[in-house]
């Protein structure tokens, strides 16, 4: 298929706004940021490896309640030419190691409220994994702590920084597809990681919409530009019943959100896929055409042929860009990151809203979860 590239000049013409210049090319690091990692399991180790590739960073501490995991993380830091102290108690680490500027938190979802608030209260910059927390009340406590904190607070909705999705979103927000009407998403794959038991306990992970589906819902709500008004949903456990033993999370659900402006999101998430059927789709339909977010391409309504959007830093991962943005925000004092406390609050509340709609088998409204948010 012929896929013309849309240039920056034509993007400006279409959208009326120029994409922000690349973060990575914007400046050399003005000073080294000293980082501690709290939670060096699956995700923390991955983020650590990514962080170690970014210029201007020194990882000075690693902490995990399982000492062996923290020690392995320290070994990765050594291999990259650095040196990190090993801790098993992050509060003691914050008390005693005074050279830490910023913390990356990658602990299980049920710990986020206490860990985040403790880190924010001592004035460190914090990159905290999603979801914000598991209840609306806990989410709001974290947002209040972030508002009062000295440090920058950024949340692990890294897909906002994915070069392709980010370019696609700028195009949408610039009016490239006209009025946004509907977002359609699927996240179909194999089951959750069996080696990490807390994912399978709903009281610890919030279930698969709050823990996993949340990323795509965050993107769609960002595209639409407001929170949903109502959630209609249905889901359950139909294949992996009591697998692993004691499982309390679903293996599938389908969800519709209605928005105050009349837009809709429909989203299907399941773990039933045999090999070859796995996939993620994130499509945004508008009055003038539709955008495929991960492909950074759009299809006008009136003309044949998919048009690729210009993508800056196309060779960089979403995680790299999100962590690099965190460092830039620290250096520049930007207290409004793209994935800040408020966007994370909205994403988490809508995931809680959808989860309630499934479990309570009824339509759930935004007001029920949002309180004064």
Ligand X SMILES: NC(=O)c1ccc[n+]([C@@H]2O[C@H](COP(=O)([O-])OP(=O)(O)OC[C@H]3O[C@@H](n4cnc5c(N)ncnc54)[C@H](O)[C@@H]3O)[C@@H](O)[C@H]2O)c1
- Note the residues at the interface with ligand X (CB under 6 A): 38-44, 63-66, 69, 90, 106-109, 111, 115, 129-130, 156, 158, 196, 211
> Cβ of residue 198: shortest distance to ligand X, in angstroms?
6
Q: CB–CB of 41/196 below 8 Å?
A: yes
> Cβ of residue 280: shortest distance to ligand X, in angstroms?
12
Please choose, from the candidates 212, 214, 199, the residue with its C-alpha nearest in 3D space to the C-alpha of residue 247.
199
Q: Considering beta carbons, is residue 64 or 289 the nearer one to ligand X? A: 64
Q: Considering beta carbons, is residue 109 or 313 the nearer one to ligand X? A: 109
Q: Which residue has the CB atom at the shortest distance from ligand X?
A: 41
Q: Considering beta carbons, is residue 115 or 126 the nearer one to ligand X? A: 115
Residues with Cβ < 8 Å from 228, sequence gap 6 or more?
A: 221, 257, 258, 259, 265, 350, 353, 366
CA 363 from centroid of its chain's CA atoms: 26
> Cβ of residue 249: shortest distance to ligand X, in angstroms?
13
Q: What pairing do the DSSP bridges indicate for beta strands 364-365 and 102-105? A: unpaired
> Cβ of residue 153: shortest distance to ligand X, in angstroms?
15
> Cβ of residue 90: shortest distance to ligand X, in angstroms?
5
Q: Considering beta carbons, is residue 18 or 196 the nearer one to ligand X? A: 196
Q: What pairing do the DSSP bridges indicate for beta strands 102-105 and 230-236? A: unpaired
Q: What does the DSSP assignment read for 180-226?
A: EEEEEEEEE-S---TT-GGGG-HHHH--HIIIIIHHHHHHHHHHHTS
> Cβ of residue 13: shortest distance to ligand X, in angstroms?
35
Q: Considering beta carbons, is residue 105 or 263 the nearer one to ligand X? A: 105
CA 366 from centroid of its chain's CA atoms: 21
| Residue whose token pair is 């429909």 | 266
> Degrees (nearest 5) of the Cα angle 166, 167, 169?
65
Q: Considering beta carbons, is residue 115 or 265 the nearer one to ligand X? A: 115
244: cis peptide before it, omega within 30°? yes
């Amino acid at each position: 298929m012929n896929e013309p590239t849309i240039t920056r000049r034509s993007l400006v013409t279409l959208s009326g706004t120029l994409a922000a210049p690349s973060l990575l090319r914007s400046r050399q690091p003005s000073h080294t940021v000293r980082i501690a990692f709290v939670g060096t399991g699956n995700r923390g180790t991955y983020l650590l490896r990514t962080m170690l590739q970014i210029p201007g960073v020194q990882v000075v501490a690693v902490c995990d309640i399982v000492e062996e995991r923290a020690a392995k993380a320290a070994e990765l830091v050594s291999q990259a030419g650095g040196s990190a102290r090993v801790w098993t108690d992050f509060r003691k680490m914050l008390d005693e190691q005074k050279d830490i500027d910023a913390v990356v938190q990658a602990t299980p979802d049920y710990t986020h409220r206490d860990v985040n608030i403790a880190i924010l209260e001592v004035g460190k910059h914090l990159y905290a994994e999603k979801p914000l927390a598991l209840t609306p009340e806990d989410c709001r406590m974290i947002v209040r702590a972030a508002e009062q904190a000295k440090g920058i607070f950024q949340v692990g909705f890294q897909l906002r920084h994915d070069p392709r999705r980010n370019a696609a979103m700028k195009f949408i927000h610039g009016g490239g597809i006209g009025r946004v009407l509907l977002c359609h998403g699927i996240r179909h794959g194999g089951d959750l990681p069996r080696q990490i038991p807390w994912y399978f306990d709903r009281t610890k992970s919030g279930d698969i919409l709050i823990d996993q589906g949340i990323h795509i819902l965050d993107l769609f709500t960002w595209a639409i530009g407001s929170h949903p008004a109502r959630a209609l949903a249905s889901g359950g456990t139909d294949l992996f019943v009591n697998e692993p033993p004691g499982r309390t999370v679903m293996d599938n659900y389908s969800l519709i959100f209605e928005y105050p402006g009349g837009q809709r999101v429909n989203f299907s998430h399941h773990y039933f896929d045999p090999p070859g059927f796995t996939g993620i789709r994130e499509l945004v339909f508008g009055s003038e055409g539709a955008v495929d977010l991960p492909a950074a391409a759009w299809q006008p309504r009136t003309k044949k042929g998919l048009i690729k959007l210009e993508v800056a830093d196309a060779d960089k991962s979403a995680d790299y860009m999100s962590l690099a943005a965190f460092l830039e925000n620290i250096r520049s004092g930007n207290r409004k990151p793209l994935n800040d406390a408020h966007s994370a609050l909205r994403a988490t509340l809508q995931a809680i809203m959808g989860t309630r709609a499934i479990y309570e088998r009824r339509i759930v409204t935004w007001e029920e979860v949002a309180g004064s948010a």
